[in-house]
Amino acid sequence: MERRYPDPAVRVLDPRFNALRIASASVECLYEGARWSEGPVWFGDGRYLLWSDIPNNRILRWDEATGEVGTFRQPSNNANGHTRDREGRLVSCEHLTRRVTRTEYDGSITVLADRFEGKPLNSPNDVVVKSDGSIWFSDPTFGIDGFYEGEQKAPQLKPAVYRIDGQSGEVTLMTDDFIGPNGLAFSPDESVLYVVESRATPRKIYAFDVADGGRALENCRELIDAGAGTPDGFRVDVHGNLWCGWGMGTDELDGVRIFTPQGEAIGHIALPERCANVCFGGRHRNRLFMTASHGLYAVYVNTQGVKGG
């Protein structure tokens, strides 16, 4: 990585991005050695980050105080996306077992969803928790398409986005209009849900209005046409900007692409590998962690991730 300030890897595509970058902060590589890094989630109370190494069937842990990396869980059931619920518990999407789980305080596992209308889910991919305690997750077929990130199986359900009610645990289908729903996140006020469509050509990011007290989606519209890029997982900052894992194997595309709430590209953080997902962490939620192919990267930014993001 570059050793000078400002880091040329942090690229301004629009002057509005200048307010979000820190001239004396550079991109750091924290770890190399994964097969496919995904699903970062920050634990501020323990000062550590968890993320998935899907094909190696493990969840890794990076400790902020020591910089050391160890194995948090193996096997992980080819876990992919993670988040924390409003009680601080780990919520995970598992490809192999085709389910969404919660890790309790004592380390035991609770299954939150593994079927819909009696049929097994495909392979839950990414997940976010709303302030009302509801859990929203995408369910494409990526983990059952082959034997690399799970076990090959024939899908019995259409790819979809689901909601798990925070009180009753009821699973509700929110939309099944996408071939490959992937990353998802809420706007800071939770009035908008963003969803990545990974199997479109070109790939796109759509926005929905959240209606009926958070129990329905309406007014689907295209927000971002990715062109040659590949949006994957993403998070939203307190200003509503989207920080999207990005790439397609070129220096111009690999890394993180930053968009305004209106879908305008304003910045790019270049990485030597395609970035699959991101999260905000650190004491002030102003450190962007990036899981990219074989590695884990981080950079301090002049904004904060939304709570729970």
Number of residues in the chain: 309
Residue ranges at the known binding site for substrate: 125
**What's the Rg (C-alpha) of the chain?**
18
232 assigned to active site: yes
Interstrand relation of 216-225 and 204-211 (parallel, antiparallel or unpaired): antiparallel
What residues are paired with 186 via a beta bridge? 193
Query: 280 Cβ partners below 8 Å, 6+ apart?
Result: 42, 235, 237, 243, 286, 287, 288, 289, 304, 305, 309
From the list 126, 139, 232, 254, the catalytic residue is 232
Q: How far is CA 223 from the centre of its chain?
A: 18
In order of 43, 130, 186, the CA distances from 88 in angstroms are 8, 13, 18
Residue ranges at the known binding site for a divalent metal cation: 38, 182, 232
Cβ(304)–Cβ(284) below 8 Å: yes
In order of 81, 213, 278, 288, the CA distances from 40 in angstroms are 7, 29, 6, 10
Residue ranges at the known binding site: 38, 125, 182, 232
Give me 235's structure tokens: 């998070």
Cα angle 290, 294, 295 (rounded to 5 degrees) comes to: 40
**Strand order across the beta sheet in which 204-211 lies:** 181-186, 192-197, 204-211, 216-225
Q: Which residues are catalytic?
A: 232
